[in-house]
Amino acid sequence: MKIASVTRLITFGVVLVILAVSVVSLWPQPKRVTATAYFPRAVSVYPGSDVRILGIKVGEIESVTPAGRAVRVKFWWEAEHKVPADAKAVIASPSIVADRYIQLTPVYSKGDVMADGAEIPLARTAVPLELDQIYQSLNDLSVALGPKGANDQGALSRLLDVSAANLNGQGAKLNQTITDVSTLTQTLSGNSKSLFSTIRQLQTFVSALAANDQLVKQFNTNFAATSTTLAGERKDLAAALNLLATALGEVATFVKDNRALVRTTVSSATQLSQILVKEKAAIAEVLETAPLGLGNLARVYNPQYGTLDQRVNMAQLDDPADFICSLLLQANQPLSTCSALKPVFEALPKLPLLSSLTGSGGPAGTPWAPAPKPKLPSPDPVDPTLGGLVPGEVSR
């Protein structure tokens, strides 16, 4: 009886183990992405070490094997975490004693993702600096600066002694200098575009000077000559400047004492300028016709009798309508005004007797015959100076 119970228990246990193995093997596993990276060395990296993104574990290392002068590390991560196709693999060392892991960087944002079975070459991998390498670098530096290196003749010791003596008590100033240089560097970095633009403008200016080298030399020579002249006349120049200062002081005093008059004069000048601007057409007409008028005046002046001689055409008074219409047209009145006054003009009588006054009447024996012209002595030549009133000759 006991043997049968034991047998049943063993059989039941075997069935449970088989079921557990079947469940584990048949349970759907999350999809993984595998990749292979090549490192120059892989110190403290083992199968089972973490594969992380931003410090979060997303997979594990499967194998670490030598591959010539490099180390081949095969690893995987869960496919739900996207990795850029050109991602880098970095062996990170959080501390001296902690396990190292592989960090995939940068974080995926957009674009293609790394395919399953991809390889990351040496150019896209990085490893931390080992402690023994740091010690070796420090040792090399100490040897280079030691008695067998730069301090072979004590030059480094003298440099340190002189520097210590020069910097004694100047720590605060040295710190301020370093701070100011840092601020200057930040300012230049923030205004790099303006700085480069200034440099380009300076380059253009220097190129222009180089292209005009002879002119620059001539300018320098002339400037030197001017400087020499001013140096020789510095007493006269000083006296002139003193007089100018005195004159400016007197002008300032005059303006201060006569502010009201100056203001009035300026206002009057402003009004005069406005009037001139407003009447510029009339001024232009006067300037255009004045020479002709002065020339005509010189020609109508009779120096023999001291009179202004002119001929009056009284014949136009024979027809008062034509005379009045001509006056209206000379006054820039339209021709329609004459047409409107036509009935009035027709009612006006003709005055042919006025022709007798002009000498342009009918034949001899009529009431309006021209009177005989008296014989006058020939006048002297025209005096262009109008009897001395106008200086010089006025020509038409």
Beta bridge partners of 302: 307
Mark 284-302 as b/e (b = at least 16 C-beta within 10 Å): eeeeeeeeeebeeebeebe
| Phi/psi at 56 (5° precision) | -105, 130
Token pair belonging to 75: 């690893």
Determine the pLDDT at residue 182: 85
Task: Say which DSSP state 124 is in.
Answer: G
| pLDDT, tens digit (0-9, with 9 covering 90-100), for 305-339 | 777 776 666 665 666 677 777 777 776 777 777 77
Angle, nearest 10°, between helix axes 234-257 and 213-232? Answer: 80
Token pair belonging to 153: 């003749």
Counting residues of the chain whose pLDDT is more than 90, the rounded percentage is 21
Measured distance CA(285)–CA(279) in Å, rounded: 10
Determine the pLDDT at residue 355: 46
Determine the pLDDT at residue 188: 77
| pLDDT, tens digit (0-9, with 9 covering 90-100), for 278-305 | 888 888 888 888 887 777 777 777 777 7
Task: Say which DSSP state 321 is in.
Answer: H
With cut-offs at 50, 70 and 90, classify the pLDDT of residue 97. low
Measured distance CA(373)–CA(359) in Å, rounded: 9
Listed in sequence order, the DSSP H helices in the chain are 2-26, 131-145, 155-166, 171-190, 192-211, 213-232, 234-257, 259-278, 280-300, 320-330, 335-340, 342-347, 355-358
